[in-house]
Structure formats: C-alpha cells, structure tokens
Amino acid sequence: MATYTTKSGDMWDSIAYEQLGSTSHTGLLISANMEYKDIYIFSSGVVLTLPEIPQNFNSLLPPWKRKG
C-alpha cells in the first residue's frame, strides 16, 4: 500500500493532484484517511494512505468532469 507523508501547508486537493493525478480523486483520498477528515491544511509528517483508483472511476463522474 502506498503512502504519502505530508509537508507543512499541504491540502487534500493538492495532495490528490500531485500524488493521484487529479483533484477529482480528493474524495477517495479523504475516504482512505478518515481519521484526518477534519484537517484542511496539514502540518508536516502526517502519513496518509494513497488509495487505489478504480479503473471505472471516470464513469462515476458527471459528464463535464470526465477525461476524454
């Protein structure tokens, strides 16, 4: 299982973009780390679990957010 250790100032959407490739994965990232769900801006040193992205993830998005 992949993990990411936060840097001071990291936010959920920036972590999702940098580590998972899209801010669309922010919800999946939060769901995989529910113990930190109330944190908006991270301090350094928090170890987060990076979720697996389902292959059909794109089909779960509304049409205007789908890639390709």
Q: Is residue 26 part of a domain?
A: yes
pLDDT of residue 1: 79
Instruction: Give 58's contacts (C-beta < 8 A, 6+ positions apart).
Output: 66, 67, 68
Block residue for tokens 């789908």: 66
Structural domain count, the chain: 1
The distance of Cα 7 from the centroid of its chain, to the nearest Å, equals 14
pLDDT of residue 62: 61
pLDDT of residue 43: 98
| Residue 62 backbone dihedrals phi, psi, to 5 degrees | -65, 155
Per-residue confidence in pLDDT tens, the chain, 68 aa: 799 999 999 999 999 999 998 898 999 999 999 999 999 999 999 999 999 987 765 555 565 665 65
Q: Is residue 61 part of a domain?
A: no
Q: What gap in Å lies between CA 45 and CA 41, rounded to an integer?
A: 12
pLDDT of residue 40: 96
Q: Is residue 18 part of a domain?
A: yes
pLDDT of residue 68: 52
Q: Is residue 32 part of a domain?
A: yes
Range of the domain at 17: 3-53
